[in-house]
Amino acid sequence: MDTASCNAEFCVDITVTASSASIDETVSNQITVKPNPFTNEIEVNASESINELTIVNTLGMVVYRKNTHDKTLTINTSDLPKGVYLVRFNGQIKRIVKG
């Protein structure tokens, strides 16, 4: 058998997705929302300026909005009912619970 003229081909589709724990994202966007669960206020800290911050309830309604260039915000949440909320800012979404 003459192996000099043999050819083989093998194809596999590979899907590559970005990980939420990638090094670039973690280093450039260190973001915390605390405490969680919360009662009367939350503190939002970011390594970069926060442009617009919104808090959305489970019905998709915006219950808080703030435009700023600060890196730290303290938000009074005493008027929010108990439940689950999403905090959105700088392309990030954090889930928080009011207990």
Spatial distance between the Cα atoms of 43 and 21, rounded to a whole number of angstroms: 22
Mean pLDDT computed over 52-81: 95
Mean pLDDT computed over 67-75: 94
Has residue 15 been placed in a domain?
A: no
* Per-residue pLDDT reduced to its tens digit, 11-58: 666 666 655 554 444 445 688 999 999 999 999 999 989 999 999 999
Has residue 59 been placed in a domain?
A: yes
Has residue 20 been placed in a domain?
A: no
Record the tokens describing residue 90, joined without a space: 């700088």
CA distances from 25 to 16, 29, 30 (A): 16, 6, 8
Q: Which domain holds residue 84?
A: 29-98
pLDDT at 9 over 80: no
CATH value at residue 94: 2.60.40.3080
pLDDT at 8: 58
pLDDT at 39: 94
Has residue 65 been placed in a domain?
A: yes
CB atoms within 10 A of CB 45: 15
Has residue 5 been placed in a domain?
A: no
What predicted TM-score, i.e. pTM, was given to this entire model? 0.69
Has residue 33 been placed in a domain?
A: yes
pLDDT at 26: 42
Query: Structurally, how many domains does the chain consist of?
Result: 1
Has residue 39 been placed in a domain?
A: yes
Report yes or no: 37 and 31 within 8 Å, Cβ to Cβ. no
Spatial distance between the Cα atoms of 90 and 69, rounded to a whole number of angstroms: 11
Has residue 1 been placed in a domain?
A: no
Only one residue has tokens 């206020």, namely 41
pLDDT at 10: 62
